[in-house]
Structure 1
Amino acid sequence: MIQRWLDRFCYKHPRFGIPNLMLVVVIGNVLVWLLDQFSQGFSLSSALCFAPYYIIHKGEIWRLLTFIFVPTTSNLFFLAISLYFYYWIGSILERQWGVTKFTVFYLLGVVLNIIAGFLVYLFIPLPVETATMHYVNLSMFFSFATLYGEMQVLLFFVIPVKVKWLAWLDAALFAYDIIYNLVQLPTVGMFALAGIVAPIVAILNYLIFFWDDLMAGLGRVKRQTSHRHSRQTVNFKQATKHAQQTKGYIHKCAVCGKTDTDYPDEEFRYCSKCNGYYCYCSEHIHNHVHIE
Structure 2
Amino acid sequence: MMIICIANIAVWLFSAMDTTGLLVNLLTFSPYHILRGQIWRLVTFVFVPMYSSPFSLLISLYFYYFIGSTLERQWGTGRFTIYYLCGILLQVIYGFIIYLTTGINYGMSANYINLSMFFAFATLYPDNVVLLFFIIPIKMKWLAVIDALYFAYSIFSNLGAGMGLMSFLPLIAILNYFLFCGDMLFGFVLPRGRQQRKNTVDFKREVHRIKYEQRNKNYTRKCEVCGRTDTDYPDLEFRYCSRCAGYHCFCQDHINNHIHFTE
| 1:213-251 deviation digits (Å, cap 9, x = unpaired) | 223222222123214433526967xx9xxxxxxxxxxx9
Alpha-carbon distance in 1 for matches of 2:75, 2:228: 56
Q: CA deviation at 1:65?
A: 1.5
Correspondence 1:92 to 2:63: no
How far apart are residue 173 of structure 1 and its match? 0.5
5+ residue gaps, structure 2: 211-221, 230-237, 249-263
2:177 corresponds to 1:180? no
> 1:59, CA displacement in angstroms?
1.2
Query: Deviation string for 1:239-286 (max 9, x for gaps)?
Result: 9xxxxxxxxxxx987x947999349558889xxxxxxxxxxxxxxxxx
Q: Secondary structure at the match of 1:153?
A: strand
CA separation of 1:96 and 1:105: change in aligned 2, threshold 3 A: same
Structure 2 distance, partners of 1:67, 1:184, is 25
Render the CA deviation track for 1:155-189: whole Å, top value 9, x for unaligned.
Answer: 1111111111111001010000001011111xxxx
Provide closer, same or farther for how the CA distance between residues 222 and 76 of structure 1 changes in structure 2, counting only shifts above 3 A.
same
Name the TM-score, length of structure 1 as normaliser: 0.70
- 1:211 equivalent among 178, 182, 185: 182
User: Could you state the TM-score of these two structures normalised by the residue count of structure 2?
Assistant: 0.77
Unmatched segments (≥5 aa) in structure 1: 1-21, 186-190, 240-250, 270-292
CA contact (8 A) 2:49 2:57 kept: yes
Alignment of 1:24 onto 2:8: no
User: Following the alignment from structure 1 to structure 2, what is the Cα–Cα distance between the partners of residues 252 and 179?
Assistant: 68
Query: Secondary structure in 1 aligned to 2:174?
Result: helix
Q: Which residue does 2:42 correspond to in 1? A: 64
Check conservation: 2:119, 2:144, Cα contact below 8 A. Answer: yes
Aligned-partner residue type, residue 109 of structure 1: G
* Equivalent runs, 1:116-195 vs 2, <5 Å: 116-126=94-104, 128-185=105-162, 191-194=163-166
Question: What is the aligned-residue identity percentage?
Answer: 42
Q: Which residue of structure 2 lines up, in the alignment, with residue 55 of structure 1?
A: 34
1:45 aligns with 2:24: yes
- The 1:267–1:47 alpha-carbon spacing in structure 2 relative to 1, beyond 3 Å, is same
* TM-fit CA distance, 1:91: 0.7
Counterpart Cα distance in 1 of 2:15 and 2:206: 70
SS of residue in 1 equivalent to 2:161: helix
- Residues 228 and 28 of structure 1, relative CA distance in 2, 3 Å threshold: same
Q: Rg larger in 1 or in 2?
A: 2
Show the counterpart of 2:15.
36
Partners in 2 of 1:260 and 1:107 — Cα distance?
69
Q: Give me the whole-angstrom Cα distance separating, in 2, the residues matched to 1:257 and 1:178.
A: 72
Output the aligned Cα RMSD: 3.0
Give 1:268-283 correspondences, 5 Å limit: none
Kindly provide the amino acid, as one letter, of the partner of residue 44 in structure 1. Answer: L
| From 101, 105, 122, the counterpart of 2:83 | 105
